[in-house]
Structure 1
Amino acid sequence: MRILVLARVRLGVVAVLSLLTLSACLLMAGLPRVLQASYDDALHGALWKASASQVDLTVQTESRGADLHDPGEFAAKDARIRSLLPSRLRPLVSATGQMSAKTYDTPVYQSNGLTYINLGWLSDGDRRVEWIDGRAPGKPGVLRWNGSEIPLFEVGIVDEARTTMPLQVGDVRILGESDQMAVKIVGVFRAKDPGARYWSHDADVLHVTQVQPPGKQELERRTTALIPASGLAVLSGATRHLVYSWTLPVDPAAPASLDVPELRAAVEDYGRLIPVQMAGNGSPYELATDLPGVLAGFGTALGAAQTVMFLVLGGLLAVALGVLVLAVQLLTERIDHPLALARARGGSLRQVAGAGAALVAIAVAPAALAGWALAFLVPGPVPWLAHAGPALVPLTAVGYAAARLAVTHRTPLHERRDDVAAARPSARRITLEVLVVGLALAGAYLLRTRGLTTGGLDPFLLLVPVALTVAAALITIRCYPLPLKLLVRLAARGRLAVPFLGLTRAARARSASALPVLILLPALAVSVFGTVVSGGLSTTQRLASWQSVGAPIKLTSPVELPPEAIERVRKVPGVRLLVPAQTASAQLGYSGDRAQIIAVDLAQWRRLLDGAPISVPAVASGGSGIPVLVSHELRGRGTFDIGWYERMKVTTAGEIAALPGFYTRGKFIVLPFETNKRPGVNTLLIKGDADPAALLAATGQPAAQLTSQERALDAIKDDPLTGTVQDVLLISTVALAVYALIAVAVTLVIGAADRARALSFLRTLGLSDRQARGLTVLEILPLILITSLAGLALGLGLPAALGPAIDMSAYTGDLTVGGYSADPVMPAVLAVALAAVAVLGAYAHTAISRRRNLGAVLRVGDLA
């Protein structure tokens, strides 16, 4: 059989099939690359967002007599530590690192434990700081103290320490309560680049730490002073706490998201290897890093993003294959007559089916290769889906063509009439369809019970939504003629012929009508699913932001805010309501058990939260003690004593699981604000639109911090993977809408010949053009409307059906999405667009049929 001749005769259909194949392969090969590239960008963003102290690999040991007195000894240890790096980690680690030696908990003599000056040597400190007063420290010396000589270190302090400690150039301080040493401040420095990630490891050098110990009014202050390399010869861990550190910086832009599981395993292996290989006479070496935790957190978010990717790609793949199958059916119907003629003249079934499959292969194979090749222009890694999708597209097209032609031409002269009565399905087909529905339900149940087993890269997740879609389509195909037959009976009682004829033709649709259902239903379902997920994410993100802050604006201070500072904050323009609060830690009874407490006016707090999606409970009065709310961990205590500023008796007036903005778990107590005679306010809850900088300035406290609900919401939304998910949903909605519209158009073309023939018969009986348009619309619209309803129902049910497989808490501040609310706009727009295309197609088809000569459609004897 001359296949090229067939291709030339049906060049238009072949071109359409090629374009659909090209677009499908480009989409299925390019979209995974784009997504994978965005996942890599998200990983790099997560690593950049985390501090260097969390991401970098730091090996530490505490010197207990095995001191290192020279930078060369540190360098030798650094080379040994780097040689133990697993091969998977070596490309991530920078060639240059940092080494340090620091003391900790080194008190100033007779400071009552409120002032600490630690000593620190940084291997590259001379390159990181500049001296703004005095000079750089020199070699250590000795100082006569209480009749003996003690080491005297020349040190440099950060500029901040001059005002907060306070310390000045020339000051000498004695350190230690038993084995003393002395420091002389000879210089003041500041960081050349205080925002560099480097300083994350040495924040104690760059800033003075101030905390308020429980039960004390004075602040505890700590700073780390710099010593030169020559000071290592005198610095010893025999009589004080001394820690050596080697930091291997990790390049945040180096890892790939595909390697996250292997990287986590490599870091854990390295952490187990270091203590064994670096064992010596001193204390053990250990790896200090939170890189596995950062990767685990990213892996959780990545799993949720890949869940959406699998669902969307599964829907796209199903719809793209369905549209392709429709186009293949259109082509095979166009060549049905020459193939039937060849079969009648003695051609074998293999020759006929092979000829049709070869024609389809000519149309799809070059287009598939072209689409797959064009996808390499898309930047990004190449996951396995980028190869599997383009390979499946031509295989499906050729396989469907061969199978359909083999079934159609299994006997010569296969002419039939499908328009007389609806075909009855065989028992085998019904059994198969019931099996598909059962497997889909079983798969959804298993997915809900077992969850994801491979961190989101679970093929089971791809198969279950497709199976549910096919099951819903089969149910729709079997059930949609039933209401149509009822409408046919009602229309038969009327006097108008067009409703009866249109609905009758819709009810007696050919078996090929299953294909539009298999396309339109997943297209609508995935679009609705994306809309539902987006709505649930937005709602939960807003709720999470309120729960994390607990107020429109929350201002906290590590020290007590005086009444005049509170009044200044209250008078800042834009402040409409201010609720003061105090947080602290209290002793439970007379034991060593402690609980977090907050004293606040709950009634005023509820006023402040008016209109917000969260609220706080009220406290019932009564009882012998102060009425309080307690967490679940403190339930059943009734009336008990706590030790705060004074001993007081409290009575449980209610239990709460969490307190927005403060406590999500653990032991905590909520007391009335007036519990203390002189409340030490350290938290302000504010309602209004005041300027954050003005609020902080009004406190007069440099260490005060401000958070707001809007900032918390922006932080959640600005997560890189959140943007990826939104982009995936947008791309999928657009692509599915286009495929759905193409499916409607191809469906109209497939049935054009039969429809034209029927309309031509009816025109001989006096059917007008207006009636012809109405008949065509009634024939097409029922399938589209019923499929739209089924797709809407499936899209709304997918979140509940898939259960834990679509956990989106990684994008909602770790708050589980409690419910999904549907946005009716997108499904309604898509359904209206499909109906509009169907109506326009019907009108266009009627216009074309009107111009046809009846003799070109009807054969001799058709009117006899």
Structure 2
Amino acid sequence: MRILTLMREHAGAAAVLAVLTLSACLLISGTPRALQSAYDHGLRQTLAATTAQDRDLRVLARNATPVRTRAELAAKERAFRALLPSELAALATTGGTSHFSVRTVDTPAFDRPKQYVNVGWLSDFDRRLTWVEGREPGAPSTFAARGIGTIPLLEVGVPEGATTTMNLPVGSIVVIGQSEQIAVRVSGVYRPRNPADPYWDHERDTITVEERLPPGQLEPDRYVTSLTGDEGIELLGYGARRTVYSWVLGVDPGRADALDLPSTLGAIKDYNGAVALEADDNAANSVATGLPRLLTSYAESLATAQTVMFLVLGGLLAVALGVIVLAVQLMAERMAAALALMRARGGALGQVAGAGTAVVAIATVPAAAAGYLLSWLVPGPVTPMVHVGPLIVLGVATGFAAIRLTLAHRAPLHERRDDVAAARPSPRRITLELTTVALALAGAYLVRSRGVSTSAATLGADPFLLLVPVALAVAAALITLRCYPFPLRALVRLAARRRAAVPFLGLTMAARSKSFTVLPVLILLPALAVSVFASIVSGGVSSTQELAAWQRVGADIRVEHAVAITPEAVARVRNVPGVEAVLTAMTGDAVVGRTPVEVVSIDLAAYRELVAGGPLDVPAPPGGPGIPALASPLLGREPLSVRWQVAMRVDPRGSVTGFPGLQTQRNLIVLPADANERVGAPTRPNVLLVRGSADPAAVREAASTQGGLPPVVRSRAQTLAAIKGSPLTGAVLDTLMIVTAALAVYCLVAVVLALVITAPARAGALSFLRTLGLSPRQARRLTVLEISPLILFTALAGLALGLGLPVALGPGMDLSAYTGDLAVSGHGPLSGGALLTPVLLAAGLTAVSVLGAYAHTAIGRGRGLGSVLRVGDQ
């Protein structure tokens, strides 16, 4: 067998097959690495964006035997590090935020009402602080307190804010504790060298004064944690006060690996148990960390991302393999005459099929190897799919070639006329196709009715969720292939009544297309369906992100303060450039009976005007005598006695389940803005809702009060940017866009290959018709009419399937991880941008079909009619 001769004679088709194989292998091997790299980057970015207090491991010891020296604390730190499982040891660092500390908790000042002065010690405060006044604390001594007697005296330093807000200048002495008191003397005032250092997430109470407003009171309690030196460690455990020892083991986000999420979660649980066993008698050791919550949340988001990526990349892979099969079909068509001659001259079936398969292998094996090697240029960890992918591509290409050539040449000079009459499908095939369609519909119904049956965070995606889209695509392809001849025949009958011959001939040729036109349908339909699916998902995510930003903030800008906002501050905010309107409100914690509730006091009518034009659905204000209110359904409809800033009795006149700007899971009561005034109490707003494009920093400065804590300012634009900028959101949306573009390219390649495969038969038919008087212009129209119906029906079926997939898979696709924890109730409007991509794709396919038809007509016109007729007479 002259295999190399066949290869040389059909070098063009072999080159096309090689390029497609290389791209498919690069795609199937490189994409998993890129996605896994994105998953790892997303995890590291998620951990880096959180506070160190949430991320780090903090071992806490309560009721422990008092520790006397720094050396004892350091020894315990080494012991706790030795207990780390290997998964956590790989994440933990010895620098950064790692340190250990001692502090008292909720220690009241003996003769200072509403003040709490805790005392703490930090292992590295000497290199974290700058002393701006006085000196570092010295050795303890004694103090003769009036009415108490001689008690221990600790020298401490305090943060800058404590000197004014709590009246703790250098030299002041305060007695602290309710029993077995000690005295503290302020020896110096400090400030952090780098207030933005994540280290201070653990020790925020040592550099700020905290204000807490108890329910029912107008003045806040003030807390500060002062710092003493090494000599004062022993006195921190003095008496019956609450003392907490802590060892912070810093976690390096750059070492996190998404593949190790399950084992890391298990390691944290094991470490907590090991630390608890190390506790002293009557002591309680625990690990305080938000790492399990962070990792579990990311695992759930990752499972959703992997499910969506599986759907779109699985469709892309199927389309890529389909295009390769189409290219193999082109090779088989090109080699058909030579292989048939070999078979007629006595060649065995195995020799003939083997020769053709060898030609396909020569074209695909080097290309697959090149694609596999190029995939190693893609950064990211190696997954099993990186190695298995090229083998799948080679198996599909060579396997299809072997089967196709074996069936085509099983008998010498076996010829068929598929263009004259289509073979009637067997009852077995019809039954199989009906069963496939029924199973696909049943699977879609089950996904809709039962939702997801497994936990995405632990067991991964539901197999039903992964298999149903494939079954629906196959079912849609089968229905399209079986049904499209019926409207086509109706069009043929209409065309037969007209005098023009071109429409009748073109539609008749489309109805009598060869059986291998099944391949373009199996390629174009899932490609269009996945493209539509991706565009609808992207549109739904984007619109829900907008709504989530509105619900989180409640306005363009939201200002919240721990204490009342003065009228002067409100006036300053109104004068900030860009502010169009300002609305005051009050929020806080209250109690109804024994049930804790969240209370909002606001003018709902004014609020509806403030957010008009946005997506928020603000309830109408309730009317009626007394204090009308909106209340959570669980609170009932009977009058409620609410203990808030003052006691009041309210009448529920409607229900409410949530309110913009409040992220609470508790019961909710919405009161009128003047509810306090109706019971004789002053209105003290602590929230400002701002409409306009003002600078949030300028609003914060205007709302701040001298000597107090700065207000919390949230901007809707910044919140939306944070939601869209979350690690996995960008990866998912970018992948959807890239897949849509890749599918468009594969669709165009599939159309071109289909045109090339059918070119010889089309050229022959047109040559015969030209001898009967067919003009070149009519030939071009005829070719367009032959090609367009199948593409048109396939595009409509792919569009319908793409629109139906989000509806069918809705309960199984929890995309809230990419929308600020807000469920995607819809998938974008079915107009405008949501359908722009599939419309452009269908238009592109139509344009390529027309251009291909013109090109092939031009090629056929350049050939002599005599040569075509002699070829057809063989």
1:25 maps to which residue? 25
Matched, 1:855 2:866: yes
Is contact 1:657-1:665 (8 Å) kept?
no
| Alpha-carbon distance, 1:320 to partner | 0.3
Is contact 1:310-1:461 (8 Å) kept?
no
| Alpha-carbon distance, 1:237 to partner | 5.2
1:210 maps to which residue? 211
Query: Of the candidates 808, 816, 825, which is equivalent to residue 836 of structure 2?
Result: 825
1:331 maps to which residue? 331
| Alpha-carbon distance, 1:360 to partner | 1.2
Q: For 1:735, give the aligned amino acid.
A: A
Instruction: Tell me how far apart the structure 2 counterparts of residues 268 and 601 of structure 1 sit (CA, whole Å).
Output: 48
1:550 maps to which residue? 554
Is contact 1:101-1:120 (8 Å) kept?
yes
Moved more, 440-449 or 723-732: 440-449
Matched, 1:253 2:221: no
Instruction: Tell me how far apart the structure 1 counterparts of residues 364 and 645 of structure 2 sit (CA, whole Å).
Output: 81
Q: For 1:441, give the aligned amino acid.
A: L
2:618 maps to which residue? 616
Is contact 2:586-2:686 (8 Å) kept?
yes
Matched, 1:522 2:526: yes
Query: Structure 1's 598 and 460: CA in aligned 2 closer, same or farther, altered over 3 A?
Result: closer
User: Could you list the per-position Cα deviations for residues 784-823 of structure 1 after superposition, in whole angstroms to 9, with x for gaps in the alignment?
Assistant: 1111111111111111122333211101111110111331
User: Could you list the per-position Cα deviations for residues 671-714 of structure 1 after superposition, in whole angstroms to 9, with x for gaps in the alignment?
Assistant: 11112222111111121222322322222334211112212211
Instruction: Tell me how far apart the structure 1 counterparts of residues 813 and 532 of structure 2 sit (CA, whole Å).
Output: 15
1:716 maps to which residue? 723
Is contact 1:33-1:383 (8 Å) kept?
yes
| Alpha-carbon distance, 1:862 to partner | 4.7
Map residues 106-121 of structure 1 onto 2, 5 A cutoff.
Answer: 106-112=107-113, 114-121=114-121
| Alpha-carbon distance, 1:742 to partner | 0.4
| Alpha-carbon distance, 1:219 to partner | 2.1
Map residues 228-627 of structure 1 onto 2, 5 A cutoff.
Answer: 228-236=229-237, 238-276=239-277, 278-448=278-448, 449=450, 451=452, 453-455=455-457, 456=460, 461-588=465-592, 591-622=593-624, 625-627=626-628
Is contact 1:554-1:684 (8 Å) kept?
yes
Instruction: Tell me how far apart the structure 1 counterparts of residues 349 and 462 of structure 2 sit (CA, whole Å).
Output: 40
Instruction: Tell me how far apart the structure 2 counterparts of residues 383 and 658 of structure 1 sit (CA, whole Å).
Output: 44
Instruction: Tell me how far apart the structure 2 counterparts of residues 438 and 409 of structure 1 sit (CA, whole Å).
Output: 35
1:730 maps to which residue? 737
Instruction: Tell me how far apart the structure 2 counterparts of residues 414 and 802 of structure 1 sit (CA, whole Å).
Output: 47
Query: Of the candidates 747, 753, 756, which is equivalent to residue 760 of structure 2?
Result: 753
1:765 maps to which residue? 772
Matched, 1:83 2:93: no
SS at match of 2:236: coil
| Alpha-carbon distance, 1:17 to partner | 0.6
Instruction: Tell me how far apart the structure 1 counterparts of residues 724 and 440 of structure 2 sit (CA, whole Å).
Output: 34
Q: For 1:125, give the aligned amino acid.
A: F
Is contact 2:596-2:666 (8 Å) kept?
no
Instruction: Tell me how far apart the structure 2 counterparts of residues 861 and 340 of structure 1 sit (CA, whole Å).
Output: 16
1:655 maps to which residue? 655
Q: For 1:607, give the aligned amino acid.
A: E
| Alpha-carbon distance, 1:461 to partner | 4.5
Query: Of the candidates 790, 815, 835, which is equivalent to residue 846 of structure 2?
Result: 835
2:126 maps to which residue? 126
Instruction: Tell me how far apart the structure 1 counterparts of residues 87 and 78 of structure 2 sit (CA, whole Å).
Output: 18
| Alpha-carbon distance, 1:85 to partner | 0.9
SS at match of 1:193: coil
SS at match of 2:87: coil
Instruction: Tell me how far apart the structure 1 counterparts of residues 207 and 684 of structure 2 sit (CA, whole Å).
Output: 29
Query: Structure 1's 368 and 462: CA in aligned 2 closer, same or farther, altered over 3 A?
Result: farther
1:59 maps to which residue? 59
Is contact 1:541-1:713 (8 Å) kept?
yes
Instruction: Tell me how far apart the structure 1 counterparts of residues 665 and 174 of structure 2 sit (CA, whole Å).
Output: 44
User: Could you list the per-position Cα deviations for residues 709-736 of structure 1 after superposition, in whole angstroms to 9, with x for gaps in the alignment?
Assistant: 2122111111121110121012101111
Is contact 1:307-1:805 (8 Å) kept?
no
SS at match of 1:177: coil
Is contact 1:586-1:643 (8 Å) kept?
yes
Q: For 1:46, give the aligned amino acid.
A: T
Instruction: Tell me how far apart the structure 1 counterparts of residues 815 and 18 of structure 2 sit (CA, whole Å).
Output: 38
Instruction: Tell me how far apart the structure 2 counterparts of residues 645 and 240 of structure 1 sit (CA, whole Å).
Output: 31
| Alpha-carbon distance, 1:295 to partner | 0.5
Query: Structure 1's 598 and 348: CA in aligned 2 closer, same or farther, altered over 3 A?
Result: same
SS at match of 1:603: helix
Matched, 1:797 2:801: no
Is contact 1:63-1:238 (8 Å) kept?
no
Map residues 10-49 of structure 1 onto 2, 5 A cutoff.
Answer: 10-49=10-49
Aligned residues: 856
TM-score by length of 1: 0.96
What runs of 5+ residues in structure 1 fail to find an aligned partner?
Answer: none
Matched, 1:812 2:819: yes
Q: For 2:672, give the aligned amino acid.
A: P
Moved more, 674-683 or 754-763: 674-683
Is contact 1:317-1:389 (8 Å) kept?
no
| Alpha-carbon distance, 1:36 to partner | 1.0
1:187 maps to which residue? 188
What runs of 5+ residues in structure 2 fail to find an aligned partner?
Answer: none
Is contact 1:110-1:177 (8 Å) kept?
no
1:100 maps to which residue? 101
| Alpha-carbon distance, 1:458 to partner | 6.0
SS at match of 1:377: coil
Query: Of the candidates 689, 700, 704, which is equivalent to residue 704 of structure 2?
Result: 700
Q: For 1:391, give the aligned amino acid.
A: L
| Alpha-carbon distance, 1:238 to partner | 4.0
Is contact 1:63-1:236 (8 Å) kept?
no
| Alpha-carbon distance, 1:861 to partner | 8.5
Instruction: Report the identity percentage.
Output: 53
Q: For 2:513, give the aligned amino acid.
A: A
SS at match of 1:781: helix
| Alpha-carbon distance, 1:443 to partner | 3.8
Query: Of the candidates 779, 782, 791, which is equivalent to residue 775 of structure 1?
Result: 782
Query: Structure 1's 68 and 492: CA in aligned 2 closer, same or farther, altered over 3 A?
Result: same
Q: For 2:574, give the aligned amino acid.
A: R
User: Could you list the per-position Cα deviations for residues 425-469 of structure 1 after superposition, in whole angstroms to 9, with x for gaps in the alignment?
Assistant: 222222222233233334434545352555445665544322221
SS at match of 1:649: strand
Is contact 1:444-1:464 (8 Å) kept?
yes
Instruction: Tell me how far apart the structure 2 counterparts of residues 830 and 820 of structure 1 sit (CA, whole Å).
Output: 20
Instruction: Tell me how far apart the structure 2 counterparts of residues 433 and 426 of structure 1 sit (CA, whole Å).
Output: 11
Moved more, 749-758 or 626-635: 626-635
Query: Structure 1's 553 and 253: CA in aligned 2 closer, same or farther, altered over 3 A?
Result: same
SS at match of 2:820: coil
Is contact 2:304-2:814 (8 Å) kept?
yes
Q: For 1:508, give the aligned amino acid.
A: R
Instruction: Tell me how far apart the structure 2 counterparts of residues 61 and 185 of structure 1 sit (CA, whole Å).
Output: 27
Query: Structure 1's 861 and 137: CA in aligned 2 closer, same or farther, altered over 3 A?
Result: closer
Is contact 2:104-2:236 (8 Å) kept?
no
Is contact 1:521-1:788 (8 Å) kept?
yes
Is contact 2:34-2:380 (8 Å) kept?
yes
Is contact 2:629-2:670 (8 Å) kept?
yes
1:679 maps to which residue? 683
Instruction: Tell me how far apart the structure 2 counterparts of residues 14 and 480 of structure 1 sit (CA, whole Å).
Output: 32
Query: Structure 1's 409 and 428: CA in aligned 2 closer, same or farther, altered over 3 A?
Result: farther
User: Could you list the per-position Cα deviations for residues 819-842 of structure 1 after superposition, in whole angstroms to 9, with x for gaps in the alignment?
Assistant: 113312111111111111110010
Query: Structure 1's 704 and 95: CA in aligned 2 closer, same or farther, altered over 3 A?
Result: closer
SS at match of 1:67: coil
Instruction: Tell me how far apart the structure 1 counterparts of residues 426 and 349 of structure 2 sit (CA, whole Å).
Output: 23
